Structure 1
Amino acid sequence: MPSTLKLSQRETAFNNEVVTRFELYNSLFQTLPFYQVKDTGILLPFFSSHCEKEANKQLSPSEIIESFFKKYVPDIDHREQINRMFRFIQYIERQVVLFDAIEDSSFSKIGREDETGTMQSLLQQASVSEQQRTNIAKKLDDFTLRLVLTAHPTQFYPGSVLGIMTDLIEALKTNDINTIDVLLQQLGKTPFFNKKSPTPFDEAVSLAWFLENIFYHAVSGIQTKLEDEFELDTHRVNQLLEMGFWPGGDRDGNPNVTADSTKSVAAFLRQRVFRAYYRDFRVLKRRITFRGVEKFMVTLEKLVYDNAYSKQDPKNVAPEILDTLYAIRQTLIADHDSLFVKVVDDLIKKVRLFGCYFATLDIRQDSRVLRKVFNYVTEHRKAETGIIDGYEKLDEAEKLEQLTFNKVDFHCPADADFLIADTLNTIRLMKQIQHTNGEKACQRFIISNCQQASDILQLIDLFLWSGWDKDGLTVDFMPLFETVNDLTHAAGVMESLYTHPFYKEHLKKRGNLQTIMLGFSDSTKDGGYLMANWSIYKAKVELTSMARKYGIDLAFFDGRGGPPARGGGKTHRFYASMGTEIENQHIQLTIQGQTVSSQYGSVETARFNMEQLINAGIISALHPNRNDLLDTRHKELIAKMADESYKMFLDLRQHPLFVEYLEKFSPLKLLSHINISSRPTKRNTDAQLKLEDLRAISFVTSWSQLKQSIPGFYGVGTALNKMKDSGHWEEIKDLYSRSGFFKTMVDNCTMSMSKSDFRVTAYLEKDKKFGAFWKMLKDEFELTKAMLLELTGSTVLMQEYPVERKSIAIREKIVLPLVIMQHYALQCLNDCQDEELTKIYNKLVIRTVYGIVNAGRNLA
């Protein structure tokens, strides 16, 4: 734990840099270009205070809203009350942006709560001795970090708003009041949401903003720093830093992603990286004006400009660009005293990092779809494929024996089902993208809901039947294990693959590196917070052991969402606490939802968070904490707690009121109307909602809107209490103080709970139908809170992280009126018979969702 002095310094800095400045600049909202903005600005503090005070009395949202208007604006009718609420929403949404920008602008003064995880810390360790420097350099040569941007529907800010935020952060760093005022005026005029749902291509454009404006600079900056400090192999096969991309490639349950959208996104990423190169080239051109380089500069300009702006037939020109840059570099060294070599080196580094593709476009599809495609092709070309009649009825061992891996040139008939045609067309398209953008442009196929080795081997057959050769199969096949059951059997599935002759040979050609994706979101929805975390931990231990048994280099790709309930939280601490039983030299994780803008929204924050991940991987490998290697007794204790919470979570899921409660009191049914994603909120089109069809992101978002973070804590308190009652409390306290894994899990749970507020729904305790159900949820919250406070020796949740706790508290206070208005509108909807009013209430609910999620930063 950081020293008390350091904590008080950070708190003082937070108060001065964030709290005081927010209060100061918040007054500028009085001049925003909204209708009656001054009236709204004057009224809103009274409304916020009223919501806080009346929520403490456990009044219903309807009582809170109605009493407010009766007291403060008594002479307006119901329609005008609703108009006022919409204006409150406009105002609060922009207050959230201002608070975000002020916090981000103060990052260098308050953001670095854990200096031990920075690049500076790594360099300090390297300076201890030459041997230590050599050890770090050696680990860096084996280490890789891949961040994958995914199109999950919680990145609410459009590119226009992100651009304003970026400029606002810079203006706030110098307290440039005039620029801040103008930017807030611009913010007031700029829409915060789409009038229609984005296409997969729209999502790609939105997330590519971060590639172009943030990661292009942050990744190359880190690479430069590491190469300057350590003698790294710049021609290694696996890059140290890589970016991945899912919009346009992730078609699992998203019928709007097609081969055409995949092709368009790949072309767009290519164009954007060349435009970034061209901007850098123009700087280069202004500096390098010497004799002997003219012809190289002409060649370079044509290569970069043509690929950035013309519609020519594209091809992978990265090697040609690099050769030209190296020729320029050599001339500068030989004839011009190395003047401006660093400018050339910077562009060389970026081309090496991003090639002609910017980020690897991952393809993902569900195993059930892939099985249908496999069966379709074998039915049409049985003789050539060599697959016997009745194959699908064989058991797994027999299937593995029967697979033939024959090459077949199968072209999908025009009358084929959409999913079948899309799968086969996409497999062919991957080859084309590799030809135009380079192999790394599209080389990974992720099989979600992977349950058996044949799911992967049958997909390989589909590649061999769609234009790919065995010797030229430049594709990595990645199983995604998600449910508790699938995680339990994951190691056995991988052993079947490692021992299969064809797959073993394929893996050898791919550098003997196997990537396995593990999904936190669905495992939490399936088994609850403790069981999901423990199942993934156990699976990682077993999968690591299996890979080491067969000499396989293993990379875990973690599907980590924003909130702790979906694997989020203190990410670098999660990786630093893996222990030697878990392979950790390749860190791969999804960056999604508000996590993109909150942790990677500026070059400074992106560099800091990436440096922490690098540090976590390197230092945990060089200096493994023996306490992170859980002993048999500690594993028994965690397993018992996981089982206990699992039983409780399953009982909750099976409760007859569970789904109805979510549908009635959260915006779940309306999430599909929020125009932030091309992906449906559930996996089928049935009118009746089934929990198994509900996407994990919708599940977690609904609970967060209710201000009941059930997926992030439910069952934890009961499990801890059972340990205490059975006489194991001292062991649990010892486990918390010694195990980085268990401490991180507990601390992330307290973060989830800090964003809960049962006052909002306290009126439900008196509800005849749902009262007992609500009380069951509240009782578990209170029990968990009490047990966690006792376990951590705290008097308040997140006591160890006071600045983060205060930040959450301020954000929750800003959006409490949004929460009250949302629940008021939901209450009105339950009794409304007026069609026009129903539409207005729906809109009111939908509009509140944006601000609540954005303020939470990792709520969905």
Structure 2
Amino acid sequence: MAREPKIERFNQDVLSKYQIYNSIFMTLPFDKVTNTGVLLPLFKEVCDKGFAEKQTPTQIVENFFELYQHNPNDEEKNTLLFRFIQYIERQVVLFDAIEDAAFTKVNNMVGRGTLRSLKEEAAEKGLMSTMKEFLKTFKVRPTLTAHPTQFYPGTVLGIIRDLDKAIRVDDLLTIKRLLAQLGKTAFFKKEKPTPYDEAISLIWYLENVFYHSVSSIYNYIQQNVFDGETLDNDIINLGFWPGGDRDGNPFVTTEITLKVAEKLKTSILSNYYKDIRKLKRKITFGELPEKINDLEHQLYQNIYYPSKDSVFTLASFEAELAAIRVALIDEHNSLYLKDLDGLINKVNLFGFHFGTLDIRQDSRVHHNVITEIIKEVTAAGLGIFPDNYEELSEDEQMKILSKVSASVKPEDLKDDMARATIGSIYAMKKIQAENGERGANRYIISNNGSAKNVLETFSMVNMCGWENPTLDIIPLFETVPDLEVADKVMEQLYTNPQYLAHLKRRGMKQTIMLGFSDGTKDGGYLMANWGIFKAKEALTEMSRNHGIKVVFFDGRGGPPARGGGKTNQFYASLGPTIEDEEIQMTVQGQTISSNFGTIDSCQYNLEQLLGAGISNELFTNPTKIIKEENRETMQELADISYKTYSDFKAHEKFLPYLERMSTLKFYAKANIGSRPSKRGSSSELKFGDLRAIPFVGSWSQLKQNVPGFFGVGTAIKAFEDKGEFDKVLTLYKDSIFFRTLLDNSMMSLTKSFFELTAYMQKDPEFGPFWDIIHKEYLLTKRLLLKVSGFDELMENEPVGKASIQIRESIVLPLLTIQQYALKKIQDMQRTGEIDKDTFEVYEKMVTRSLFGNINASRNSA
């Protein structure tokens, strides 16, 4: 029997079940306000009708109270609105759990882009040997970050997981209990999490999801592509940022870094311990039980009573498992060999480190640290730097930086930041000694704009007495100007004798990170993506000319405005002009829970990423190569879009609008992440201090999604106006890359809802500015439909669109409440009549509304 269309499976297994379970949820008595569950659907109806009739959020809320409440006072009104927020937050959780439970029914786990599908296609076309050779070196590396784009505390994530299981089997009694539990479980965090708290939250995914799905994929490839042969390539390895990402986070200390590394080690050992205990129940013959008992004991000791004198190392663990394997084959007819091989594969994949802890810091911090170190070591007469270093030319300084060799210890330094920065390098050495080289072997430099930035970091590494350091230095290019010179910066490094010697020791491989989030914030949607594409091309060509394998590490967020959207499709669109032996990317916030939150979704999405790489290598597609005439069109579109966005960004009302009309400042009050919500300590808002997440998030909360489309419509209209629209159509038809960009922009437009903020059009100060945004939205929507030939946005993605529509419908009352509270705050500030207690209530209302709105966007990637 043929499978039903995907949209029908979605309607049956997601939409219908949500309607059923939501009706149960709405009848559960878990709050002190009578009939909240009955009133919320009525409020939703008033919102729908009100926006259709062009009412303001304030009018909608007041109309609701007039229709369904008997002269409530302000306290009663606010109490009910908070209860609505409480219900809606949990409706989003319920929908998440239902989507998770239906994942394997809605998505074809052996369909297009999966390993089984690609293997069959390769076999049919006689390309199995090519596929095999490719998989000997190709890798996918998701790096989990603690960037705060997800608001679920660990307790709620646990409920989602339990709901998922109960919904899969329609266990109504358990579902009711879990929904009742959900109703009483707090979402709001009274205190900001520490970096260690964030690490613990994400290690949960490593232990419960990635450990199983990554090894399952590896086992499949080993058995079905390599016919059981030993595979000397981990294929999927994991990166980890919480506890190592110091960029703008003063709370990440050397002690935290070491503590997180220790937790990663004990976590992976705990998973091995569970697997050893399972093996112990099966391998009960010969002399093997004694060997397994000994491994069980050693794992237990190293988890709960670790000792510096322990002789239990990764090498000894691997050797013992290998000895058991030989005995199983030689003496016991390979009984339970597959189970043992599964554990051996996990040990090869995860070692004693689980995920590689990356260290990251800003280049400007490094420069200040170097300046302080030079002052101190010069004053101490250590002779590491010449006395006139600051007076030398940049070229002369770079020569000195590349040749530095010393032993400077953190305790030798007086400056706090210098101590912390040098301390982080010593921490990497310590982690490698205890967790293996893969424990921490990457140092990332944010805001990298020059070769000197890299050599300053290189010199600090060499100051730590680390001979032939086993780490990679990774520059992160973020802004449009930095992307334009990235290849020239790297060529300076490749021709530097000392840095080249370092690369030779590291296998002539250079990892380069590119920032989609800050790139979009800086240059707008089209220019950021095109700028990164061109930078990758230039870096690929130049690196190949120097005999260096370049690896690109993409700093991607969840929504299209931060490099998210259809990630797998994006990688599948890259052609041979871009090095693609590895796919490395950050995964953060709701993208972790939506794409990698369950074993099924994690395995599916990792396979899709692997499939993108395999497809690029095996199956030639001419639409992946952008023709010269199309490149000219793309460049002109990007240039026009960039100017449009830059002019918009320079508008005198741009920052005041964000500061006073959006939720920007409320991110700092939400206690969702350990990192401050902006750079710098100035009370005055500066564009350069804005972080990408609250910046993009604030536009999302307004349902305007500016970073995902602004400038796109104007750029295409320029071609329409001069009678060259056919050039855009040709680019769209010929280039998968461009089609993917427009598809992702459509997602941003689909999630926009200008009726929510239409009241701002009449605002005496910000009305004209709101008009600018709205007109660009309408223009972009019209022209994207014209280019694509669609009658409606996301016409080619009915399931994705349906999921978005349901989620947007769920949170519409929440958005209405948030705008109502924001308007109350704005009115008080403008009149100067501020009642402190009332003001704080409305601020809390706005902040609490952040949670559900962001969580509802988890399908953004």
Shorter-chain TM-score: which interval? over 0.9
Partner of 2:284: 289
Paired residue for 2:304?
309
Which residue is equivalent to 1:585?
A: 581
**What's the secondary structure of 1:589's corresponding residue?**
strand
For 2:847 and 2:13, the matched residues in 1 are separated by 33
8 Å contact from structure 1 (residues 30, 37) kept in 2: no
Query: Structure 1 residue 124 and structure 2 residue 120: aligned?
Result: yes
Query: Displacement of 1:641 after TM fit?
Result: 0.7
Alpha-carbon distance in 2 for matches of 1:35, 1:457: 59
Q: SS of the counterpart of 1:59? A: coil
Does 2:427 correspond to 1:429? yes
514-523 or 111-120: bigger deviation: 111-120
Note if 1:195 corresponds to 2:190.
yes
Residues 375-428 of structure 1 deviation map (CA, whole Å, 9 limit, x = unaligned): 222223346554333434544333333335243121234772322111011111
1:182 aligns with 2:180: no
Letter of the 2:522 partner, please give it.
Answer: D
SS in 2 for 1:587: strand
SS of the equivalent of 1:759 reads helix
Question: Is the aligned partner of 1:629 residue 2:625?
Answer: yes
The verdict on how the C-alpha distance between 1:20 and 1:559 changes in structure 2, with shifts beyond 3 A counting, is same
Q: Write out the 4+ residue segments of structure 1 that deviate beyond 6 Å after TM superposition.
A: 5-8, 232-237
CA contact 1:62–1:824 (8 Å) conserved in 2: yes
Q: What is aligned with 1:216?
A: 211
Separation of aligned partners in 2, 1:411 and 1:237: 38
CA distance in structure 1 between the aligned counterparts of 2:282 and 2:228, rounded to whole angstroms: 28
Which residue of structure 2 lines up, in the alignment, with residue 264 of structure 1?
Answer: 259
- CA–CA distance in structure 2, aligned partners of residues 297 and 751 of structure 1: 53
* 1:418 equivalenced with 2:416 (yes/no): yes
- The residue number in structure 2 matching 1:737 is 733
Partner residue of 1:841? 842
**Superposed, which structure 2 residues align to 1:268-417 within 5 Å?**
268-313=263-308, 317-382=313-378, 384=382, 386-403=384-401, 405-413=403-411, 416-417=414-415
Q: Which stretch of structure 1 is more off in the superposition, 792-801 or 288-297?
A: 288-297
The alignment covers a number of residue pairs equal to 853
- Give yes or no for contact 2:358–2:444 (8 Å, CA) kept in 1: yes
SS of 1:760's partner is helix
Identity, in percent, stands at 47
CA offsets, 1:507-541, max 9 Å, x none? 11111111000000111110100110110011000
Structure 1: segments with no counterpart, 5+ residues: none
Range with bigger deviation, 759-768 or 228-237: 228-237
**Is the contact between residue 491 and residue 542 of structure 1 (CA under 8 Å) also seen in structure 2?**
yes
SS across alignment from 1:64: helix
Aligned-pair CA distance for 1:566: 0.5
Paired AA for residue 188 in structure 2? F
Given the superposition, is the C-alpha separation of residues 57 and 32 from structure 1 closer, same or farther in structure 2, using an over 3 Å criterion? same
Give 1:714 shift. 0.3
Amino acid at match of 2:471: V
Contact 2:146/2:588 (<8 A) preserved: yes
User: Does the Cα contact within 8 Å between 2:641 and 2:711 map onto a contact in 1?
Assistant: yes
CA contact (8 A) 2:564 2:860 kept: no
Specify the alignment match of 2:139 in structure 1.
144
Separation of aligned partners in 2, 1:93 and 1:740: 37
Displacement of 1:306 in angstroms is: 1.4
The answer to whether the aligner puts 1:749 opposite 2:745 as a matched pair is yes
C-alpha change, 1:540 and 1:7, in structure 2 (3 Å) is farther
Does the CA contact (< 8 Å) of 2:630 and 2:730 recur in 1? no
Q: How big is each residue's C-alpha offset from its partner over 1:606-660, in whole Å with a ceiling of 9 and x where there is no partner?
A: 0000000001001111223222111111111111111101111111111111111
Partner of 1:786: 782
Report whether the alignment pairs 1:542 with 2:562: no
What displacement does 1:315 show? 7.5
1:716 is matched with which residue? 712
Distance in 2, matches of 1:696 and 1:390, equals: 39
| CA distance in 2: counterparts of 1:315 and 1:757, whole angstroms | 61
- Shifted more, 400-409 versus 771-780: the winner is 400-409
State how far apart, in whole Å, the 2-side matches of 1:179 and 1:25 are: 12
The 3-state SS of whatever aligns with 1:388 is coil
Aligned to 2:89: 93
SS at match of 2:631: helix
> Could you say what the CA RMSD is over the residues aligned between the two structures, in angstroms?
1.9
- C-alpha contact (below 8 Å) 1:385/1:405 kept by paired residues: no
Instruction: Indicate if the aligned counterparts of 2:195 and 2:242 stay in contact, CA closer than 8 A.
Output: yes
Shift of residue 193 of structure 1?
A: 2.7
Shift of 1:668: 0.8
How far did residue 727 of structure 1 move? 2.3
1:610 aligned residue: 606
Q: How many angstroms does 1:355 deviate by?
A: 0.8
Q: Counterpart in 2 of 1:72? A: 68
> C-alpha distance in 1, partners of 2:76/2:860?
31
Decide whether aligned partners of structure 1 residues 758 and 319 sit closer, same or farther in structure 2, where only a CA change above 3 A counts.
same
Alignment match, 2:164: 169
Match of 2:454 among 444, 453, 456: 456
What letter corresponds to residue 287 of structure 2 in structure 1?
G
SS of residue matched to 1:142? coil
What TM-score, normalized to structure 1?
0.97
Q: Cα distance 1:404–1:549, how it changes in 2: closer, same or farther (>3 A)?
A: closer
Q: From the superposition, tell whether residues 94 and 576 of structure 1 become closer, same or farther in structure 2 (CA, over 3 Å).
A: same
Structure 1 Cα separation of the partners of residues 360 and 410 of structure 2: 20
C-alpha change, 1:445 and 1:415, in structure 2 (3 Å) is closer
- C-alpha separation in 2, matches of 1:359 and 1:289: 33
Change in CA separation of 1:388 and 1:493 when aligned onto 2, cut-off 3 Å: same
Contact 2:626/2:734 (<8 A) preserved: no
| Matching residue's letter, 1:840 | V
Contact 2:372 2:415 in 1 (8 A): no
From the superposition, tell whether residues 404 and 219 of structure 1 become closer, same or farther in structure 2 (CA, over 3 Å). Answer: closer
Tell me how far apart the structure 1 counterparts of residues 343 and 352 of structure 2 sit (CA, whole Å). Answer: 13
Q: 1:33 to 1:628 in 2, by over 3 A?
A: same
Amino acid across the alignment from 1:272: S
Q: CA deviation at 1:158?
A: 1.6
Aligned to 2:524: 528
Is the Cα–Cα contact under 8 Å of residues 494 and 546 in structure 2 kept in the other structure?
yes
The answer as to whether partners of 2:247 and 2:361 remain within 8 angstroms in 1 is yes
Q: Is the 8 A contact 1:384 1:406 kept in 2?
A: no
**Aligned partner letter, 2:839:** T
1:655 aligns with 651
Relative to structure 1, the CA distance from residue 205 to residue 455 in structure 2 (aligned partners, 3 Å threshold; closer, same or farther) is: same
From 243, 247, 252, give the equivalent of 1:252: 247
Change (3 A) 1:355 1:230: same
Aligned-partner Cα distance in 1 for 2:758–2:289: 74
